[in-house]
A = this chain, B = another copy of it.
Amino acid sequence: MSYSAPEQFANVTVACKANIYFDGKVVSHALTLADGSKKTLGLIFPGSFKFDTAAPERMEIIAGECRVRLAGQGDWIGFAAGTWFDVPGNSFFEIVVESGIAEYVCSFG
């Protein structure tokens, strides 16, 4: 079976106020699922950004495209809608959006 990006999440609690990073070039809304797990739904406008991780996270790109470089890796890897990457905890990643808007679902833990 091929991977399919999630379209919606049911039975969640959503925070009304967004998380705003880099003067609004990255914004997200936080979800808590019924099992207590946390996700964010976000948008990334054009630019180059570095994010630190506490918990491990999976970033699923659900629209647009971006390039990503994980900590300690020399290569940038392109991700388009319908692809994903994992970031270890206590690490970081760099992400570049050249044009348009990349949208993501980030899952923690």
In this complex, which of A9, A27, A62 has the most chain B Cβ atoms within 10 angstroms of its Cβ? A27
Q: Mark A1-27, 1 if CB is under 8 A from B, else 0.
A: 000011111111111111010001001
| Interface residue A29 (Cβ < 8 Å from any Cβ of B) | yes
| Interface residue A45 (Cβ < 8 Å from any Cβ of B) | yes
Contact A16 B41 (CB under 8 A): yes
**Known contacts being A43-B24, A101-B24, is A8 close to B18, with CB within 8 Å?**
no
Chain B residue with the shortest CB-CB distance to A100? B24
Q: Roughly how many angstroms separate A11 CA and B45 CA in the complex, as a whole number?
A: 29
Contact A8 B12 (CB under 8 A): no
Residue in contact with A27 in the complex, picked from B9, B27, B31, B62, CB distance below 8 Å: B27
